[in-house]
Structure 1
Amino acid sequence: MVTSASAPAVVTVPRSVRLGYGVGSFCTGTFGTVPGLLLLYYMTNVLAVPAWLAGLVVFLPKVWDLFINPYVGQRSDRTTSRWGARRPWLLLGALTLPVTFALTFAGPPLTGGAAALYVGVMFFLTTTAFAFFEVPYKAMPVEMTDDYHERSSLLQWRMVFLGVAILLSGAVAPAITNAEAAGGTVGGYRTMGLAVGALLLVAMLGTFFGTASAPVVRRTEAEGTIMAQFRVARTSKTFLVLLGFSCAQMLAAGLMLAGAPYLATYLLDAPEATTTLFVALVGPILLTMPLWVWLSKRLEKRGAMILASALFLAGGVALVLTPQLGAVYAHVCVAVVGVGYAGFQLLQYSMLADVVVHDALVSGRSRAGVFTGLWTACETVVFAFGALVLGWVLGAAGFVESDASERVAQPESAIMAVTYGGTLLPAAAMALSIVLVMRYRLTAGELARAQAQADARAEQGAKG
């Protein structure tokens, strides 16, 4: 059953815990950014893997998330230890993810199918290690506070760190791979893998130690089997709506992120522009988080989410004119996309926490691990599906793979696929998300009504 703090006052999360929790977003942001930005391009343009096969290598290990994430959510719900329920899993992820990430980009002397097999196995292990950390990490805000706006405030800290992580990893990782000494070769990617692995280790250990004194106002219960977790998810219409538009948004982000190095290389004729495009994308995260928190209160979270999605859509559609209007125009469009991206990233996590709390009030059981496990699995699978779609679009358009020693001329059909695959396809997915957001009904008022009903039931039970 749900257990809550006995004091009626709102539990405020200490600043030290907010910092400790927030720094874990370096893991989320880095792992979500670097493979999504560079892994497809690394295989097609450095390891000479055909585009259709490279897309499969990025996507298939993520399908495993559909199984490992709910399992980790279930096990972390049930875990009891002197470190709490979630923190042992944070430590396990911290000790495994940095190693497997570095190995994914280690670049043994392989090309083509053999290279694809190696990268696929390493990336499979990397996604497993990421699940150990990310699923319990996302469950923690629900257990730290019961307050609707306190969660948004807590997640604002998380999103600031997430923005810094995305900015650093998205800007520095391509810069390392394109450094003059490495020249976009296997050696450049190997150095990048080691540097990012070290960053992951520091951030994940920082969260493990930084959340040692985190308040726990509720504990969650696990469902008996993984299939039971899917049945739980189907009982919450609000969760299914949230899951639907979050997946559409992550598909759009995955398509645009995977397409960025190709846009820089083949439309701007400047592979190094991947770094500046990424700065334009994630810079708004650091600047607009307070604005999105304010908008979520002014417009309700649904209204703010529609606005964020519309900005992403508009920037994506405008990007299609990059070949005619040039690099400066492309960067401005990406900055507009970035403002929308900042908004829906914050609001997704805040809405997820609201859905979990609402389910607890209605059902009488808190099942944060179930919902966050399934949500994280679907989110990451769909994000990787963006790379698969782009890889298949490039392959169908005749994109020619190469190794790092040469840059081949691409046919006009492949250039067209780069142009539209990384612009209009993400915009179409974002348009679908707006339609789904309009069906989201959970507001602060609805949560207050559910709380009042739960309190009334508890009072009646006490009298009976």
Structure 2
Amino acid sequence: MGVSRARLPRATLWRYGIGSLGTGGFATLPGLVLVYYLTDTLGVTALVAGLILTISKVWDVAIDPVIGGRSDFSLARSGSRRRFMVMGGIALPVFFVVTFAVTPGLPPAVSAIWVTLAFILCATSFSLFQVPYIALPAELTGRYDERTRLLTWRVVVLTVAILLFGAGGPLLRDLFPDNPYLGYLVMALVAAVALGAGMLSSSTVAPQNVPEPESRPTASLVQNYRGGIRALIRSQPFRALLATFMLQGLATGMMLAGAQYVATWVLHSETAVTLLFVALIAPALLLTPAWGGLAKRIGKERGFWLASIIFLVACASLIMLLWSPGWWVFVPVAVAGAAYAGMQTLPMAMLPDVISHDAARHGEGRAGIFGGLWTAGETAGMAFGATALTVMLAITGYQESIGIDVVTQSTAAVMGIVLSFSVVPAAAMLVSLVTLSRYSLRRADIEPEGE
């Protein structure tokens, strides 16, 4: 199956990019409010809230390679990955609403079970869309710079999605201050419509090719996992890129889950979480195309290094919230937002390079397997970031609450929130630079001189 080397039409850029309205929205809104929903509305302890996220993401990690293998099989059999994307786009909105529709008055243990089951179904639905979605760039174009262009537009939509869901979700919830259960339900209903619209619209960009008659592979569950293991073993660039993205996902996931706690208990304004998101996303939205242009001049790898270092420095500076909490926090958050645009655009543009490099060396296209592993790593990193936050909250004595009950947090608990928003994520970013140093692919490996 050939991969085009022509310049991608603008319609393809936007149809692909609009999928990030769904992927970005689902990654952002639960990451921002789910832990807070569990601890401060449903009365679930911080450790149990962390366990719920861990269980759902362990399940996610387990099924993503299988979905990747089945997606490759679907491509070979039918000529398209579209079927999986449509199934995910239909199912995710339904289970997303169910997650935030817990009946008021249930015991915390029952509420925890409800959210666990519903969120596992959400994760499964999300993977049905996300895994083939991640695999598409390697199949839409074979050109090094065109992949950067394609993924740049995707990240533009991604940053808009983060702003809409991250800022708008809490605003919708807070329209019902006397009934948080209703607030979360309204938030979920509105979000579900946007999630489904973005994902189903993007599914139309999946190429529909006529499969070659002799290319109709089958794969068992064991073979799908073996395929994932082989991909990890044989592609050193993929291992380095995936490890880097996971570590950075842990850092950003921890900060995302901690933003509501910083707004409430450090800045003493629950609505400040909306302003934090505006400060983060406005620079990212403006500078995403600039990161694409910079990558064209100096290479994706060097651009990724620069973005990661800037984010690390901005993140570490937030430790000053311990001694001087105040609105100055929006300055380093804005700097982090500018860097975050590069941290999303460039590794996503590097992934199809890794996939095509592996196919060129080994003579078989396994984009679905790579997409499954990438999705598993990305979601696991973000989830374990939220889990790390709940562990820190539990260690420092954070007090959960039910409904509109009012509690007071200790100095130690507030310190734990600040550390979870600054030093700990900065440490994960520092380790990610070590793994990034092991990434070896360059432009010449993907697009030799003269092509």
Q: Measure how far apart 1:4 and its partner are.
A: 2.5
Contact 1:79 1:86 in 2 (8 A): yes
Q: Measure how far apart 1:214 and its partner are.
A: 7.2
1:437 is aligned to 436
Q: Measure how far apart 1:298 and its partner are.
A: 2.3
1:284 is aligned to 283
1:132 is aligned to 128
2:96 is aligned to 101
Contact 1:17 1:214 in 2 (8 A): no
Q: Measure how far apart 1:80 and its partner are.
A: 4.8
CA distance in structure 2 between the partners assigned to 1:85 and 1:212 by the alignment: 6
Measured against aligned partners, the alpha-carbon deviations of 1:332-389 in whole angstroms (never above 9, x if no partner) come to 1111111111111011111111100111111111211111101110110121001111
Measured against aligned partners, the alpha-carbon deviations of 1:315-345 in whole angstroms (never above 9, x if no partner) come to 1111111254443211111111111111110
Measured against aligned partners, the alpha-carbon deviations of 1:108-157 in whole angstroms (never above 9, x if no partner) come to 12242211111011000000000010000111111011000011111111
Contact 1:98 1:201 in 2 (8 A): yes
CA distance in structure 2 between the partners assigned to 1:261 and 1:84 by the alignment: 44
- Which of 115, 124, 144 aligns to 2:140? It is 144
Contact 2:78 2:210 in 1 (8 A): no
Contact 1:58 1:387 in 2 (8 A): yes
SS of structure 2 residue aligned to 1:270: coil
Residues 255-274 of structure 1 correspond to what in structure 2 (within 5 A)? 255-274=254-273
The worse-fitting range, judged by mean Cα deviation, of 96-105 and 331-340 is: 331-340
Q: Measure how far apart 1:67 and its partner are.
A: 1.9
* Structure 1 letter corresponding to 2:117: V
1:4 is aligned to 2
Q: Measure how far apart 1:50 and its partner are.
A: 0.4
CA distance in structure 2 between the partners assigned to 1:289 and 1:214 by the alignment: 30
SS of structure 1 residue aligned to 2:447: helix
SS of structure 2 residue aligned to 1:79: helix
2:155 paired with 1:153: no
2:86 paired with 1:91: yes
Q: Measure how far apart 1:215 and its partner are.
A: 8.4
1:20 is aligned to 15
CA distance in structure 2 between the partners assigned to 1:203 and 1:22 by the alignment: 9
* Structure 2 letter corresponding to 1:50: T
Contact 1:78 1:85 in 2 (8 A): no
* Structure 2 letter corresponding to 1:162: L
Q: Measure how far apart 1:300 and its partner are.
A: 1.5
1:361 is aligned to 360
Q: Measure how far apart 1:221 and its partner are.
A: 7.4
TM-score by length of 2: 0.94
Measured against aligned partners, the alpha-carbon deviations of 1:437-459 in whole angstroms (never above 9, x if no partner) come to 1221111012235x99xx9xxxx
- Which of 162, 173, 188 aligns to 2:158? It is 162
CA distance in structure 1 between the partners assigned to 2:438 and 2:179 by the alignment: 45
CA distance in structure 2 between the partners assigned to 1:439 and 1:220 by the alignment: 36
- CA RMSD, 1 decimal: 2.3
Unpaired runs of 5+ residues, structure 2, are none
1:460 is aligned to none
CA distance in structure 2 between the partners assigned to 1:116 and 1:375 by the alignment: 28
2:334 paired with 1:335: yes
CA distance in structure 1 between the partners assigned to 2:422 and 2:431 by the alignment: 15
2:445 paired with 1:446: yes
2:173 is aligned to 177
Contact 2:79 2:211 in 1 (8 A): no
**Structure-2 change in CA distance of 1:199 and 1:324 (3 Å):** same
Residues 223-234 of structure 1 correspond to what in structure 2 (within 5 A)? 224-234=223-233
Measured against aligned partners, the alpha-carbon deviations of 1:385-429 in whole angstroms (never above 9, x if no partner) come to 011111011011111100122220011111110111111111110
* Structure 2 letter corresponding to 1:242: L
Contact 2:284 2:339 in 1 (8 A): no
* Structure 2 letter corresponding to 1:445: A
1:405 is aligned to 404
- What is the aligned residue count? 445
* Structure 2 letter corresponding to 1:72: I
CA distance in structure 2 between the partners assigned to 1:431 and 1:37 by the alignment: 23
CA distance in structure 1 between the partners assigned to 2:236 and 2:201 by the alignment: 36
Contact 1:222 1:370 in 2 (8 A): no
CA distance in structure 2 between the partners assigned to 1:229 and 1:435 by the alignment: 24
* Structure 2 letter corresponding to 1:333: P
Contact 2:79 2:208 in 1 (8 A): no
SS of structure 1 residue aligned to 2:326: helix
Q: Measure how far apart 1:230 and its partner are.
A: 1.2
Determine what percentage of the aligned residue pairs are the same residue. Answer: 40
CA distance in structure 2 between the partners assigned to 1:138 and 1:199 by the alignment: 20
CA distance in structure 2 between the partners assigned to 1:316 and 1:340 by the alignment: 11
**Structure-2 change in CA distance of 1:377 and 1:191 (3 Å):** same
* Structure 2 letter corresponding to 1:172: G
Residues 416-427 of structure 1 correspond to what in structure 2 (within 5 A)? 416-427=415-426
Q: Measure how far apart 1:65 and its partner are.
A: 1.5
CA distance in structure 1 between the partners assigned to 2:75 and 2:313 by the alignment: 47
Contact 1:76 1:86 in 2 (8 A): yes
Q: Measure how far apart 1:220 and its partner are.
A: 11
CA distance in structure 2 between the partners assigned to 1:370 and 1:227 by the alignment: 10
2:377 paired with 1:378: yes
2:185 paired with 1:186: no
1:116 is aligned to 112
Contact 1:44 1:51 in 2 (8 A): yes
Measured against aligned partners, the alpha-carbon deviations of 1:179-227 in whole angstroms (never above 9, x if no partner) come to 2x34571110011111111111111121123x16678999997864322
**Structure-2 change in CA distance of 1:374 and 1:222 (3 Å):** farther
**Structure-2 change in CA distance of 1:221 and 1:82 (3 Å):** closer
Q: Measure how far apart 1:294 and its partner are.
A: 1.6
Contact 1:33 1:169 in 2 (8 A): yes
Q: Measure how far apart 1:70 and its partner are.
A: 0.8
Contact 1:360 1:366 in 2 (8 A): yes
SS of structure 1 residue aligned to 2:159: helix
The worse-fitting range, judged by mean Cα deviation, of 213-222 and 226-235 is: 213-222
SS of structure 1 residue aligned to 2:136: helix
2:26 is aligned to 31
CA distance in structure 1 between the partners assigned to 2:441 and 2:63 by the alignment: 29
* Structure 2 letter corresponding to 1:97: L
1:51 is aligned to 46
Contact 2:80 2:206 in 1 (8 A): no
**Structure-2 change in CA distance of 1:349 and 1:216 (3 Å):** farther
* Structure 1 letter corresponding to 2:388: V
TM-score by length of 1: 0.91
